[in-house]
């Protein structure tokens, strides 16, 4: 669940919580690749108990996509994060929206936060499986 100013703006049940950071130079082709990869990931257990056997579509899951420029933070130079690798706000929002639109075409439930807002994000992490995908 994600809240902005105390109001819930996005929520799913079973599925993925995606934090999307857009870096300078990222492209639509990378967003296409990332969406395809996420939709085809086999992270869910089958009814027979086999792990990593089913996709999010096969289990009827949804996705909550949160814009997260702080993923571009670089701590190599000291104790304050340097966010200069993050894409400019306008272009970042375009790519974020593009990515979300690709996911919505899958027919799955896709919820979002509010781009650029201070958000409170809550989750129950079953598993847990946390992955970093980068192209």
Closest CA to 4 of 128, 94, 113: 113
44 is annotated as an active-site residue: no
Inter-CA distances, 51 with 3, 29, 131, Å: 32, 30, 16
Among residues 44, 68, 99, 112, the one annotated as catalytic is 68
- Report helix, strand or coil for 40: helix
Among residues 69, 97, 112, 114, the one annotated as catalytic is 69
68 is annotated as an active-site residue: yes
Within a 10 A sphere around the Cβ of 116, how many other Cβ atoms?
Answer: 12
Among residues 8, 24, 27, 70, the one annotated as catalytic is 70
55 is annotated as an active-site residue: no
Q: How far apart are CA 51 and CA 24, in angstroms?
A: 36
Residues annotated as catalytic are 68-70
């Amino acid at each position: 669940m994600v809240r902005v100013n105390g109001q819930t703006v996005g929520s799913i049940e079973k599925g993925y919580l995606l934090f999307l950071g857009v870096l300078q130079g990222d492209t639509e082709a990378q967003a296409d690749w990332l969406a395809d990869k996420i939709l085809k990931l086999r992270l869910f257990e089958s009814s027979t108990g086999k792990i990593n056997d089913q996709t999010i579509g096969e289990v009827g899951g949804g996705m909550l996509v949160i814009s997260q420029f702080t993923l571009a933070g670089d701590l190599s130079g000291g104790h304050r994060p340097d966010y200069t690798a993050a894409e400019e706000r306008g272009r970042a929002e375009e790519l974020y929206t593009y990515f979300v639109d690709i996911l919505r075409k899958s027919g799955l439930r896709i919820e979002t936060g509010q781009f650029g807002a201070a958000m409170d994000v809550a989750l129950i992490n079953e598993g847990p499986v946390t992955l970093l995908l980068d192209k």
